[in-house]
Structures are given as C-alpha cells and as structure tokens.
Amino acid sequence: MSVKDYIRTIPDFPAPGIMFRDVTTLFGDPRGFRMAVDQLLLPWAGVRIDKVVGLEARGFILGGAVAHQLSAGFVPMRKKGKLPGRTLEQAYKLEYGTAVLEVHDDAIRPGEKVLLVDDLLATGGTAEAGLALIERLGGGAVGCAFVIDLPDLGGRALLETAGHRVHALCAFAGH
C-alpha cells in the first residue's frame, strides 16, 4: 500500500464540487502514519535540521512526529490570536479573503535550519506565509514537506519558483 491508499476522499466538503482529502484516516492507521512520517523524512536524510515548523492544525501532528524522528525542535505556526507570547504575524491570501499566521518571536534563532511540514499543498499561500516568517526570524528553510499536493492549484509551482525545495508524498488532481 502507498500513503495515498490511506487517505479518504469526501465529496462536496466543505462546499459543493470540492473533493476533500481527509488525512485523519492516514493518521489513525499505525502503518499508514508511520509510512507517512518516514517518507516525509527521506529527502532530508543527512541534512542539518534544527527546527521543524508545523502549520496549523494537521501540520502539528505531522511536524511533531517528524521533529521527534529528526531530534529537532518543533515550532507551531498558528492562526492569529492563538499563541500566548509575543508573536510575528504574516498575512496571506485564501481562496476568498485573507488570513494571518503567527509564530512566537523567539521560536527560531538566526541561522537555524528549518523544515516546514503540513498535510496539504494547495495554492501555497499558507506555506508561503510560513516560509516568510521563518526568514523574518533569521532561519533558513531547507525545504517543505507535504503529504498531499494538489498540483492543479499551483502551490508547488509557486514555492519552487521562489527557490524552495518541495517534497510531497502523493498528488490528487482537481481541488
């Protein structure tokens, strides 16, 4: 089996015409979850990684597991208003409107090497905001790792055009 086999598709969620790729079925299966974490790590073997950034919320699950396997620190990037300490924020575009991503202002030290992890790469807006925050804190992004890529939405092209290394375990056509 591949990682893709563990992902459930839910039609018309959250809106008609959307095929929602549900990774909770992947997380709930011990073999599938372990396979995903191991495969997310693979391209970074031998690369210095000081911190793993997980994007809210499913990126926390994956990022924490990846950070543990790498013996690296874990940094959560959250939606605005969820972190208790002093933060930096970065606005980004959604399909309809904008949102804000935040990180503690002391979460990444200058010169640290950082891997960004999330479950899904769609338009790339959230990942782009996360990468901007890493850079603003003085960190260096070694790359981005995702379980799912939705190539029709252009996120991978956006990140790669900006010079970022992108690794995804599987891809689905459409939205």
Residues 6 or more apart whose Cβ sits within 8 Å of residue 51: 67, 72, 73, 74, 75, 107, 108, 112, 113, 114, 115, 139
Global confidence as pTM: 0.96
| Residue-level pLDDT at 96 | 72
pLDDT in tens, 2-25: 999 999 999 999 999 999 999 999
**21, 120 Cβ separation under 8 angstroms:** yes
**49 phi, psi to nearest 5 deg:** -135, 120
**128 phi, psi to nearest 5 deg:** -60, -40
In the annotation, is 56 catalytic?
A: no
In the annotation, is 34 catalytic?
A: no
All domains in the chain, ordered by first residue = 47-168 (3.40.50.2020)
In the set 58, 112, 128, 156, the catalytic residue is 58
In the set 34, 95, 109, 160, the catalytic residue is 95
